[in-house]
Structure formats: structure tokens, C-alpha cells
Amino acid sequence: MPNPDNDKQEYLKNIIIHTLTSYDLEEAIRNITMELGKLFNADRVHFRLYDEGMGVFSEVIEEYRKNESIPSAKGKMIYPQEFDICLKNRLLEEKHIYIIDDVNKSEYPESFKQLFKNLDINNEIVFPIFYMDNLESAFFITNTASEELLSKKNLEYLMPVAKELSIGTHLFKIQNSLVKKAEYEKILREIIMEVRLYERPQQIFEYLVKRLANLYAVNRAAHLQVDSEGNFVVIFEAISDNQPELKCQTIFTSESFKELTAHMEHKIVVINDVEQIKNEKLRKYLYDNNIRAFMLYPLEETIHIAGGKKITDRIMLCSPVPRKWTGVEIENLELIAGTIDVVYSDILRKKEVNEIQETFLASLIHDLRSPILGEQKALEFLMSRKPDTTIQDIAEYHLNMYTTNEDLLNIINNLLGVYSLELGQHEVAKEPSDINKIINDGIKSIKRLADENEDTISVNTQEKLSEIKMDPDEIKRVIINLASNAIKHNPKGINIKISAEQRDNEILLSVADNGVGIPESDKVNIFQKYPKAKRQIGTGLGLYLSKQIVGLHGGKIWFESEEGKGTIFYFTLPI
């Protein structure tokens, strides 16, 4: 007569063998849940992975049910967070099977009792899988009516199989992780190659949201951008299953977003169930648009001019049902979106460099062409003059050629100055110098230019300014650059005032004009090497070079400007 205990032990061995010879993790878990269900005559067996990084259990991945009348737990996020926390703590502390033998015990909170009711649980065994003392997963073996599951023999049969199952599932988990990693690396390479073909941000983000929607099997992936009021608006989206369009709509106001992120705006936002959102208005909006779970990934826009970064965009993945996003899903989103962010910044940087080069070349050609043409005309006249032409008749042409050459030399000197700065070879030869003398020498250099433009230059300097160590030629260049800019970029007839006064341990100098002022949109770029905005004249090197020179002297330079009222440039020199 066959021994039923021996049959059961043999059956358990077969389960282990079947597990270890499965094709992948999904097949192994599917086989185990089914075999455990049959072996213990359970009504339901399901499996959940433990995500150590997130410190939570996953949703139900695989499930066996004796018949269709047994409530399903798969893909419904039916386990409350309170239960998972309690379960995790208990399993990690005891490293033992967790038995639920009386669902009406007073020790169970109401959320537990509601869970038992929803799943029609009469008794349940939570069978943990540990590997090297690390919790990796758990099988949930349930009966809805019979208490046979909790018999002593059944529990004794489970214990010896735990170690073998832990080794098997661990091996499949590693294999699955490596396969998924290889898949994502392949996907990432494909995405990068595709994105590098695009030049416009629109193409990049349209492609990205479509690819992410397919990859994560979500019904909505969107690219959000912050508007002038700090609200997040949908720019592009990929939707399926007849979802309502949200393009050009505000999903998060500035206030609701700050409340949602708790002011941690640089971190990824993960919402498994919008029920956890306290803002009732936002929660209703998400419900109305069939969004029950989502992830928000921040994209950093590199601000090349300011030398920093700011968050201006978000990638949003939405689920129509509560969804427990896994650590792997979050990690892969960070990897893909973060890499695209870098590629996107690289594309923008190249585009910016190209624009700068084009602007610089156009401006340089303009600057050089005008004086050279003027000199050409003067030379043509001198070459064709009559023999009886007097020196007085051609003196004006000589003067024009002289001043034109001065302008050309100034442009070339600025170019050489910037070049030596970028090579780290620009040195300042400091010596005790009188700032009043330097200002007066600078005014002499630009007086002709001011006279031609019918401008007036006045000087207001404090008497007996301290002599300080500086490079007189370089500081003179700063004064000339600031004053000549005021002349060149304003209409005729302006007043230019150059001032200097001693304050504590520094001398404050300023060059003020009552011209048209600097437009608000240009202010952030004013000290940039080659401004992106087209200029009427000038290569844009003067102010950039002036800032570097003042910096080499240990000083600071800044400006104040109001459109229609004029501009004041200030700079300091330490004593």
C-alpha cells in the first residue's frame, strides 16, 4: 500500500526539478504556483517579488486558482500598504512562514480584515523565499473555507522545500535580471541612435514618449513643460485605448506640483495610486482623465550662459489602474530619460555653438568690411587725385584712413585678447597706476568717435584717488570698450558720463549713458563671448573681454539698464 507521505515528498521533489528545468522565471513561478496549489488542495496560490531597493512587495505576478469563483488578486494592487509593511517586518524579523489562521483576530487592523474579505481568505500561509538571508519573494497559499491547509503535516512539507525553491528562484531572478538588462541596453542604444538623427526638440520628445509608452505598456506617456507661471502643461503625448487628449492642458498647477513633490522638485515622483494624493481637485482631475498611477521624471535643461541647470520639463508615464512601479522600472526610466536628456543637451549645445559661430562670422565680416571699403574709397581718390591737389585737400582722407585703421586694430586686439585668455596665456602686468590718468587717456582714444556721433563725454572722479596696482593698458581697454559701446549702440547726441570714487578697499568706476537701454531679453547674454542675438555692429568680444580683464584684477563688473532711459556699467578694482 503506497505511503501518502512518501507520495507528497516525491511530489515536492518533482516540483523542485520542474522549477530548476524551467525556461525562465515566469515559467518557473507559473509551474510552482500551480503545483503548490494542487499539492495542498489550496483555493489560490499567488507569487509576489520583494523589491529590496523600494522596500516593498510587487503586485501579484503569477496566480493559480482552483476555479473561476475564487477572487483573483492578480494585477489589482489589492494588498494595502499597511499589510505589506507589517508582512515585510515580520518576515525579515522571523525569517519564517507567516500564518494567518483566524482572520477575525482583534490584532488585525481594519485594512487587513477588508483585505481578507475582498480575497475571501479563511486562512493563508505566506511562504517567504530567502537567499543568503535576503528576502527575495513570497508565495501566498490560501484557502477560502477549509482549514486543512494549516495542518501540521502540510507545514512540515513546506519547510524542506523552501531552501531548494529559494536557490531556484534566485537563479532565475539573476538570469531574468541579466536578460532584462541586456534588453534595455539594446533599447537604449537604439533610442540614442534614433534621437541623434533629430535636430528639433519636438522630434526628440515625440519619439521618446511613443517609445516609453510601448516599453512600459502604459496608455499615456507625456512630455510636460513648465509655463511662465510655473504650471506644467502637456506638450506632446502618446495615448492609446481611446484616452482623452490632454495636449496643451495644464496637469499640475505650480501649487499642486509643489504639494505633490513636497518641494523636492529634482527627484522622480512615483505615485502607485492617486488615492494617496491629498489635493482633492488634482485627484479628481486625474480620475476624470483615467490616470490612477503615474511616474514623473525631471529633465534638466543645461543653461550654458548662466553656467547652471534648471528643471523645465517632465516625462510622465500614466496607468489607468493602480500600479506598483518597481525599482527596476524606475531605474530604467531614469536610465533612458536621463541619457536622452544628456543627448538632447549635447544637440542643443552643438546647435548653440553653430549659431554663435555663424553670428560671430557675420558680425566680424560686417565690422571688417565697412572700414576696409572706406579705406579702399579713400585710396582710390588719392590714387586718382590731380597733380595740383594740396595736402590740405587730402588731409581729411588721411585722417579717415588713420581712424579706420584704429578700429581695425581694436577688433584684432580684442580677438587676440580672447584667444590668449582661452589658452590661459593672458597675463596682466600690474604696476602702481593713477586711475584718473587712465580715464583721460581712454577718452582721448575715443574722442573722435564721440565727436562724429555728436556725443558728449564728461568725467566725474573723486580727487586724490589712491594709486593701485593694475595693468594700465588693460584697464584703459575696459574703459574704451564700455564707452565705445555706448557710442556705437545708441543714436547720435547722447551724453556719456565716466565716474570713479573710492569705497572702502576698492575703487568703483562707472560708464553711464542716456541712450536706448538694453532690451530685457538681451540682458542675460550681455557678457557672453559671441551673443546669439544679431548685433548691428560688433563681434560681441568687448564686454566679454572686459569682464575677463576685471576678473584678472580681482574686481567685479555688472550693469543696470532701463529701456528708453539708458545704461550704466560698473566695475571695481581692489586697492
330 contacts 234 by C-beta, under 8 angstroms: no
Q: Is the pLDDT of residue 303 over 50?
A: no
Residue 10 shares a structural domain with residue 159: yes
Q: Is the pLDDT of residue 304 over 60?
A: no
For residue 312, tell me if it sits in a domain: yes
pLDDT of residue 308: 43
The string over 508-524, giving b where at least 16 C-beta atoms fall within 10 Å of a residue's C-beta and e elsewhere, is: bbbbbbbbbbbeeeeee
Rounded Cα gap, residues 13 and 5, in angstroms: 13
Q: Which three cell numbers stand for residue 199?
A: 535636430
Q: Which residues pair with 130 in a beta bridge?
A: 135
Residue 77 shares a structural domain with residue 218: no
Residue 311 shares a structural domain with residue 438: no
Residue 248 shares a structural domain with residue 120: no
Q: Is the Cα torsion angle 60, 61, 65, 67 positive or negative in sign? A: positive
pLDDT per residue over 515-545, tens digit each? 999 888 888 878 876 554 444 434 567 788 8
Count of structural domains within the chain: 3
Rounded mean pLDDT, 453-474: 88
Rounded mean pLDDT, 187-202: 79
- Phi/psi for 30 (5° steps) reads -60, -45
Q: Is the pLDDT of residue 568 over 50?
A: yes
Residue 136 shares a structural domain with residue 76: yes
For residue 21, tell me if it sits in a domain: yes
Most confident of 47-56, 101-110, 361-370: 47-56
496 contacts 540 by C-beta, under 8 angstroms: no
pLDDT of residue 570: 96
Boundary of a domain, candidates 295, 325, 355: 325
Rounded mean pLDDT, 200-223: 87
Residue 501 shares a structural domain with residue 539: yes
Rounded Cα gap, residues 320 and 530, in angstroms: 49
Rounded Cα gap, residues 165 and 136, in angstroms: 11
Q: Is the pLDDT of residue 290 over 90?
A: yes
Q: Is the pLDDT of residue 21 over 70?
A: no
pLDDT range class, residue 567, cuts 50, 70, 90: very high
- Phi/psi for 468 (5° steps) reads -130, 160
Q: State how far Cα 558 lies from the chain centre.
A: 29
pLDDT range class, residue 264, cuts 50, 70, 90: low
Q: Is the pLDDT of residue 278 over 60?
A: yes
Q: Residue 121, Cβ neighbours under 10 Å: how many?
A: 21
Residue 244 shares a structural domain with residue 173: no
Rounded Cα gap, residues 572 and 553, in angstroms: 9
For residue 256, tell me if it sits in a domain: yes
Most confident of 48-52, 310-314, 454-458: 454-458
User: In the sheet that 232-239 helps form, which strands lie side by side, from edge to edge?
Assistant: 250-252, 232-239, 220-226, 308-319, 293-303, 269-271
For residue 110, tell me if it sits in a domain: yes
pLDDT of residue 19: 61
Rounded Cα gap, residues 197 and 199, in angstroms: 7
pLDDT range class, residue 260, cuts 50, 70, 90: confident
For residue 430, tell me if it sits in a domain: yes
pLDDT of residue 160: 66
pLDDT of residue 517: 92
pLDDT range class, residue 233, cuts 50, 70, 90: very high
Residue 156 shares a structural domain with residue 238: no
The string over 278-300, giving b where at least 16 C-beta atoms fall within 10 Å of a residue's C-beta and e elsewhere, is: ebeebbebbeebbbbbbbbbbbb
pTM, full prediction: 0.56
Q: Give the ranges where 196-227 is alpha helix by DSSP (H).
A: 201-215
Most confident of 11-20, 205-214, 559-568: 559-568
Range of the domain at 129: 4-179
* Residue, of 26 and 118, whose pLDDT is higher: 118
Average per-residue pLDDT in the chain?
80
- Phi/psi for 57 (5° steps) reads -90, 150
Q: Which residues pair with 368 in a beta bridge?
A: none
DSSP letter, residue 574: E
Q: What angle do CA 71, 73, 78 make, to 5 degrees?
A: 115
Kindly state the helix (H) or strand (E) to which residue 474 belongs, with its residue range: helix 472-488
Rounded Cα gap, residues 153 and 150, in angstroms: 8
Rounded mean pLDDT, 391-410: 72
Boundary of a domain, candidates 299, 325, 351: 325
Nearest to 315 by CA among 161, 431, 208, 176: 208
Burial of 236 (0-12, 13-18, 19+ CB in 10 A): buried
Q: Is the pLDDT of residue 238 over 80?
A: yes
136 contacts 91 by C-beta, under 8 angstroms: no
Most confident of 269-278, 373-382, 490-499: 490-499
502 contacts 462 by C-beta, under 8 angstroms: yes
pLDDT per residue over 313-362, tens digit each? 889 999 998 888 888 888 888 888 878 777 777 777 777 667 666 666 66
Rounded Cα gap, residues 169 and 336, in angstroms: 28
Considering only 149-163, 286-300, 405-419, 528-542, which range has the smallest mean pLDDT? 528-542
Residue 497 shares a structural domain with residue 554: yes
pLDDT range class, residue 218, cuts 50, 70, 90: very high
Q: Is the pLDDT of residue 16 over 80?
A: no
pLDDT of residue 237: 93
pLDDT of residue 208: 87
For residue 570, tell me if it sits in a domain: yes
pLDDT of residue 261: 80
Residue 39 shares a structural domain with residue 141: yes
Strands 232-239 and 250-252 come out as: antiparallel
CATH number at residue 46: 3.30.450.40
3-state secondary structure (DSSP) of residue 49: strand
Rounded Cα gap, residues 84 and 73, in angstroms: 14
Boundary of a domain, candidates 325, 357, 387: 325
- Phi/psi for 526 (5° steps) reads -65, -35
C-alpha neighbours within 13 Å on the C-beta side of residue 204: 22
Contact partners, residue 177, CB within 8 Å, separation at least 6: 328
pLDDT of residue 44: 92
Considering only 82-86, 135-139, 442-446, 528-532, which range has the smallest mean pLDDT? 528-532
For residue 385, tell me if it sits in a domain: no
pLDDT of residue 363: 60
For residue 381, tell me if it sits in a domain: no
Q: Which three cell numbers stand for residue 256?
A: 499642486
Q: Residue 536, Cβ neighbours under 10 Å: how many?
A: 8
Rounded Cα gap, residues 189 and 211, in angstroms: 13
Considering only 306-310, 352-356, 396-400, which range has the smallest mean pLDDT? 306-310
Residue 173 shares a structural domain with residue 230: no
Residue 238 shares a structural domain with residue 166: no
